[in-house]
């Protein structure tokens, strides 16, 4: 339990520790590819040291012990006494995972037990520095060849030393003696008493050789001291640079998210009042014209600009680079591919692209579902890929980019693709669609069946996927943020899933429409075109009304009928991109576009399919905001598709 007087300090520690753990995890993943990268090793060591220090100040002993043992491992790697292996990296990742869980438990007010098994494994990994013995002995053999002592290869260390002692002092190769010293310094693997005695004897022998060499080394000592001073000076400069960088980082101010939310709500109210003020002023200036109305117009123009700038500034405080999300997935890919015996490379692009924090926080689980499916169902085993003429290692691309006022996030793999026939079979088995309807569905519509609850093409349940959950969660999360999702797949070539989201979720531009004398708002981001009713060609296909536009057949939904507010004239057809297709919606009239603030309906109404919220217009009216994706689902259900 964290004492009340320490809670504020703990909260700061938790934020910093999580950042350090994310950086540490990424550094360890990079070290797997480049185990001797000194910069990465130093950075990883500093991250673990920082976590240990913060936990020590707060008295979080389980975290301190784990971090301390992991820090020891990283320290041995820094000094070159230990080589990074997959097994050592696994135990360091376990330490990282434990610290993450421990922080969460402390936040919940729970006790955290000392993880004895993990600590023992970390100690065992540290004592396992003999894994480098083979490399050292190989180096010794190379040195013996170099100095014409090949006949000594394969002999016990003590016999090699006896041979060297018999040589004149000026003929004894210093490099060989140093290498023997390294081998003797390593703790023995066997703990048999006889071997210990042999090692002690060898140590005595090498000390005798060293006495002879000390005289020779004294001459060079002066030069070494000079070089040592230079190294110390360089290290001091590096530490000074790090301190300056730390000071710059401290300039970043951490603000409670709730304060940002409150500020965003206030800006939203300000936008509503600005809209109303502009409407009132417009009406006033139509009736009266004087120098005061001219001044009022100038002031309102300035207020309009300032409110717009303020809105953008506050919106940016909520924006975070997707790198914060993306950097979680290299570890996910590593662990899952290792579990499944597959070789997978994750390529990330557009990590500096920024997205609203509330969306970013909710995308982790959906993206994990997609990546799991890509590795489990998509990427083939290495041997199969080779047979198919593909590279042994599969590739998953994760990228983000801007397009207009939307941000797109794409997950693409080069695996086997989605089997359409298997999708059809599973859809029929689960009663998701009738056989007649199935035959009339396009390939795109068939692919979208994977987003139905409980749909899975897995033959059997595995630890990774195939539990009948996941892709429906992805679709629901995307639509909850007024986003869209699309899926493309080519058999044998791979699958691509694209999600798009608005840059901000609180304030949006919408088209104000009239349906049966009622006003509704339609978000403008999904609207492709608007067609006058008198110029539209409407016909019926399979019992459903469709709109014919430039030889395209587009499903037509009469909003007045779907919303249950009676019949109305078709003044306009609004063609929008909904999910994976074009859909046309009929409205009675258009009232122009307006910037609106999205307000939830509240607990009294709850979630209503097809309605995403409400807003207040410039003339003070409460208007419902239509969710076209939800309306399409309602229409499809009503026609039993």
- State the catalytic residue, choosing from 42, 49, 212, 364: 49
Q: Could you tell me how far CA 354 lies from the centroid of its own chain? A: 13
**374: which DSSP letter?**
I
Q: Give the CA-trace dihedral at 621, 263, 313, 524, to 10 degrees.
A: -30
- Tokens 């936040």 belong to which residue? 107
CA angle, 89 then 95 then 101, to 5°: 140
Structure tokens at 275: 């809209």
- 71 has catalytic annotation: yes
Class of residue 185 by CB neighbours under 10 A (exposed 0-12, middle 13-18, buried 19+): exposed
Query: How far is it between the farthest Cα atoms of the chain?
Result: 116
β partners of residue 575: 529, 584
CB atoms within 10 A of CB 71: 22
Nearest to 400 by CA among 360, 368, 358: 360
- 49 has catalytic annotation: yes
- State the catalytic residue, choosing from 26, 89, 275, 373: 373
Nearest to 522 by CA among 640, 425, 631: 631
CA angle, 39 then 44 then 47, to 5°: 125
Phi then psi dihedrals of residue 463, to 5 deg: -70, -20
Dihedral of alpha carbons 308, 314, 316, 322, sign:
negative
DSSP line for 575-604:
EEEETTEEEEEEESEEEEEEEEE-B---TT
Q: Cα–Cα distance between 168 and 191 in angstroms, integer?
A: 35
Residues 6 or more apart whose Cβ sits within 8 Å of residue 8: none
- Residue 119 CA: distances (Å) to CA of 81, 265, 454, 596: 20, 48, 41, 56
- 373 has catalytic annotation: yes
**Residue 482 — left, alpha, or beta (φ > 0 → left; ψ -120 to 50 → alpha)?**
left
- State the catalytic residue, choosing from 22, 25, 65, 71: 71
Residues 6 or more apart whose Cβ sits within 8 Å of residue 165: 205, 208, 209
β partners of residue 522: 511
Phi then psi dihedrals of residue 233, to 5 deg: -60, -40
Q: Cα–Cα distance between 611 and 419 in angstroms, integer?
A: 35
Annotated catalytic sites, by residue? 49, 71, 373
């Amino acid at each position: 339990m964290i004492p009340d007087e320490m809670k504020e300090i703990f909260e700061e520690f938790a934020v910093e520790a999580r950042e350090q753990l994310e950086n540490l995890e990424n550094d360890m993943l990079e070290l797997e590819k480049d185990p001797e990268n000194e910069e990465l090793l130093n950075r990883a060591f500093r991250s673990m040291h920082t976590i240990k220090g913060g936990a020590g100040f707060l008295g979080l002993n389980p975290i301190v012990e784990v971090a301390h043992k992991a820090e020891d491992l990283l320290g041995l790697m820094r000094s070159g006494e230990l080589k990074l292996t997959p097994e050592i990296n696994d135990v360091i990742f376990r330490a990282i995972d434990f610290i993450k869980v421990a922080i969460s438990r402390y936040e919940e007010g729970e006790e955290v037990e000392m993880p004895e098994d993990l600590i023992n494994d970390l100690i065992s990994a540290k004592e396992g520095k003999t894994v480098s013995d083979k490399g050292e002995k190989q180096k010794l053999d190379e040195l013996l060849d170099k100095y014409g002592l090949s006949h000594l290869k394969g002999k016990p260390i003590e016999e090699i030393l006896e041979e060297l002692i018999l040589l004149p002092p000026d003929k004894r190769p210093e490099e060989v003696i140093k290498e023997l010293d390294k081998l003797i310094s390593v703790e023995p693997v066997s703990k048999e008493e006889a071997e210990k005695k042999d090692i002690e004897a060898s140590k005595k022998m090498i000390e005798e050789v060293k006495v002879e060499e000390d005289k020779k080394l004294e001459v060079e000592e002066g030069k070494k001291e000079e070089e040592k001073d230079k190294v110390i000076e360089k290290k001091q400069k590096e530490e000074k640079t790090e301190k300056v960088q730390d000071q710059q980082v401290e300039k970043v101010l951490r603000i409670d998210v709730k304060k940002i939310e409150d500020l965003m709500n206030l800006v939203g109210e300000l936008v509503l009042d600005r809209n109303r003020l502009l409407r009132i002023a417009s009406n006033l200036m139509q009736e009266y014209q004087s120098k005061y109305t001219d001044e009022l117009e100038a002031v309102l123009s300035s207020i309009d600009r300032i409110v717009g700038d303020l809105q953008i500034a506050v919106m940016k405080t909520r924006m975070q680079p997707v790198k914060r999300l993306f950097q979680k997935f290299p570890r996910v890919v590593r662990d899952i591919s290792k579990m499944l015996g597959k070789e997978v490379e994750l390529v990330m692009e557009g990590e500096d692209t920024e997205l609203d924090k509330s969306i970013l926080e909710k995308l982790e689980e959906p993206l994990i579902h997609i990546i799991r499916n890509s590795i489990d169902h998509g990427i083939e085993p290495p041997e199969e890929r080779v047979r198919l003429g593909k590279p042994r290692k599969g590739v998953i691309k994760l990228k983000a980019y801007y397009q207009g006022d939307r941000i797109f996030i794409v997950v693409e793999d080069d695996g086997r693709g989605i089997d359409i026939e298997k999708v059809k079979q599973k859809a029929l088995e689960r009663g998701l669609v009738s056989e007649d309807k199935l035959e009339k569905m396009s390939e795109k519509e068939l692919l979208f069946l994977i987003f139905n609850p409980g749909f899975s093409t897995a033959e059997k349940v595995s630890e990774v996927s195939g539990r009948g959950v996941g892709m429906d969660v992805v679709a629901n999360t995307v639509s909850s943020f007024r986003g869209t999702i699309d899926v493309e797949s080519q058999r044998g070539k791979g699958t691509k899933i694209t999600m798009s989201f608005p840059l901000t979720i609180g304030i949006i531009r919408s088209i104000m429409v009239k349906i049966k004398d009622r006003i509704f708002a339609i978000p403008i981001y999904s609207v492709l075109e608007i067609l006058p009713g008198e110029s539209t060609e409407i016909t019926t296909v399979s019992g459903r009304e469709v709109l014919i536009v430039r030889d395209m057949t587009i499903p037509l939904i009469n909003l007045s009928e779907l919303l249950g507010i009676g019949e109305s004239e078709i003044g306009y057809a609004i063609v929008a991109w909904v999910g994976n297709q074009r859909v046309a919606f009929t409205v009675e009239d258009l009232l122009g576009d307006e910037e609106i603030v999205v307000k939830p309906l509240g607990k009294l109404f709850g979630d209503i399919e097809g309605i995403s919220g409400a807003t207040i217009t410039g003339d003070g009216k409460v208007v419902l905001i239509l969710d076209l994706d939800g309306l399409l689902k309602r229409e499809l259900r009503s026609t039993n598709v």
